[in-house]
Structure formats: C-alpha cells, structure tokens
Amino acid sequence: MAVALVPGRKRGCIMSLLQDALRKAQRFGGSSSPPPLSPHPGGSPGKPGTRWKLLAWILAAAFAVGVAGVLFLMRRTGSPPVVPPAPPAARAIPSPEPSPTPSPSGAASQPPGASPAVPPAASVSDTAPVQPTAKAGSSRVRRARGGAARTSSPPSVPTAGSMAAGGSAPATPTETPAAPAAASGAGRDPVLEKFNSGVAALNRGKEEEASLLLREVTASSPGLVEGWNALGIALLRQGRLDDADGAFSRVLSLSPRYSPGLLNIGLLRLAQGRIEEGAAYFSRAAELSPGSLAPRVNLAVAQARAGRFGEAEETLLAAGRRFPGHPDVLYHLGTVYDRIGNRARGIEAYTAFLAASAGSRPLMEDRVRARLRAWGESP
C-alpha cells in the first residue's frame, strides 16, 4: 500500500482550513453550546475559562446546599427552650424533737416542773444527794407549765464515811438525799409527786416508807434513773445490801455515766467490804464530775481504809487545791495525819477544820475537839 507524504507546509494549511470549517459549522448549524469539557488538551479554544468556572459553580452550589441543610436542621430541632429559674423551695419546718439529755455531772439538773432539790446540811458521812432529773427513757416525768419557787441552802459535800478523830477506821457510810421538790399547782405529774414524797420520807428517816413509795415510782417509770438511785439509798440505809445492789445496778445500766450512781454504788462496795471496787467507782465518778468534791473525798476514805495513807493524803491535797478551805477536806486530812502519827500536821488540819466548819458539822466538831484535848491542845 502506497502512502503519500504531505509536506509540512501543506499540512499546516490543511489544519487551518479544518479549524475554520469547524468554527463555521458551530456558528451556523452546529451545537448551540460548547461541550462542557474538551476531550483533550488543545481542543475548542473558544472559551478558555469555562472548565474552571464550572468547577467553581459546582463547589459553590455544594456549599450552598450544605448551608441550607444546616439551617433547615437548626430550624427543625430549634434551640433548647429557655427554662425560667424555679423559685426556691420552701424550707420544711422540722418536726420538734426531744431536747438532748445533758451529760451527767457532779450535780444533777433540776426536775421538770419542780423547784430544784437542794440537799440539807449533811454530816460528813453522806452520799451524793438525790436530785431528781427526768432522764432519757422516762416518758412520765415532764415539765410542768408553771415554774416552781426555787429554794437554796448551803451545799454540803457527802462523803463515804469518816475516820473517827481518835484514829479508828471510818464508820459505815450513810446517805442523805435531797429535800423533796415542791411541784407547782398546775400540771402536776403523779410520778414526780410520788418521787418527792419518797425523798421526803427518806429525809425524815422513814426508810421503809420511802422504799414503798420509790418502788411504785420505779414500777410506773422504770426508766427514771433518779428513782432507782433514791430507792438504792433507802435500801442501803436499811442494811439490805443485796437489794440496794440491784437498784444501783439498774441505775448504771440505764446511765453508765451517771456520777451520783457511781458514787453511791461505791459506798455500797465499801459497806460490803469491797474497798478496791469502791475506790474504782469513786475514781470514775471524780473523772465524770470535775466540779464535785464528794467523789474525791470518798476516794481518799477508801484509800485510807486500804492502808494506802500516802495516796489518801495526795488525793486530799489535790482536792484542797481545787476546793481550798473546804471543811470536809480538812477533816479527812486531819484523820489521815492522825493515823500515820503526824501529830503536828494533824493539829494544824483539825484546827483549820474547826475554823472552816464554824458549827455546821457539830458531831464532827465534837470529835475533833475531844481529840485535840487528848493531845493536850486547847480547841
């Protein structure tokens, strides 16, 4: 097959003619719009920026569609509703609760609905005064509406027992409870009235009558600590040590930190001859009642009974620093010095006791004067 070779110059002319023919065909009878994209580089040179403009329009349209979709979704879901702040809730008024029971101290608090029970002037051989208080567990004793008149008297310091001025062992301890509290006319509580009647009988020396009344009190109000404590004192005075032990045990089971109960069960242990146990109870009562002298003096008495006179002296000297010039401290300090043979200090303590007592303890003062006369001293 023969191939005719066309010279380069003629070939260029032919290409120019073909391009002119194509342009004319497009202008008069060809397609009304150019193809969107040239099939290959160097094609239709009529509009060189058409390709890039089309790409820009496509991208702009896509962006517009995206923005419109986002706006549509936002309008459909909407912004979260604005919730107005809720008004503060009204504060609930708490239901009334019973007032907390104060921790026991050396002196019990006043009985509800009655004037405070005040111990009478007592001898050195007295227990802790019974001061009725409505403790936790007693629902029968309540505060009366009208306040009662308050009475007062010089406080006494009950102690376990005194060593006689002649140097003998301490006597068996006795007890003097508080005077009865006079209840007001309105809102009287029968249990409190019966309790006060029992204490009054105990103060008059009517131990059996007091026992009957106080047993009724503990039967109707078994949670009244002071009722059991007063009953234990009445039984101890009658020499019914086992029954008194049961009553004081109930006191400590209801209120283990009730210092008058600890003091009285310590006195019971001394009466039973269990001196070391009594000293332990006195020591606990002293810790719980830093403002009470009775546990400290009773502790010194127990230490002296056990023959530990040095400890008894230290206990009394410490009590004297806390309660300076107290006649009970001076009396027992004199008996300790008397027992160990320190006559000079014994005379000093006994003389100071007589000056401090000033007639308030006549029996003890008589014993001290007799002892001083036996030593050749003028009281």
Average pLDDT of the chain, as a whole number? 71
Assigned architecture for domain 190-374: Alpha Horseshoe (1.25)
> Does residue 35 have a pLDDT over 80?
no
> Does residue 156 have a pLDDT over 70?
no
- Domain boundaries defined on the chain: 190-374
Which one is predicted more confidently, 349 or 29?
A: 349
pLDDT at 64: 77
> Does residue 44 have a pLDDT over 70?
no
The dihedrals phi and psi of 304, each to the nearest 5 degrees, come to -65, -40
**Region 82-110: what's the mean pLDDT?**
36
pLDDT band at residue 13 under the 50/70/90 scheme: low
pLDDT at 350: 96
pLDDT at 189: 87
pTM: 0.56
247-280, pLDDT tens digit by residue? 999 999 999 999 999 999 999 999 999 999 999 9
> Does residue 82 have a pLDDT over 70?
no
179-229, pLDDT tens digit by residue? 344 444 446 889 999 999 999 999 999 999 999 999 999 999 999 999 999
Specify the residue for token string 């702040």: 85
pLDDT band at residue 17 under the 50/70/90 scheme: low
Distance, CA of 58 to CA of 86 (rounded, Å):
51
Largest CA distance in the chain: 177
The alpha helices in the chain, defined as continuous H runs, are 8-28, 50-77, 190-203, 207-220, 225-237, 241-254, 259-271, 275-288, 294-305, 309-322, 327-340, 343-357, 362-374
Among the residue ranges 19-23, 101-105, 167-171, 172-176, the one predicted with the least confidence is 101-105
pLDDT band at residue 342 under the 50/70/90 scheme: very high
Which one is predicted more confidently, 165 or 225?
A: 225
pLDDT at 15: 60
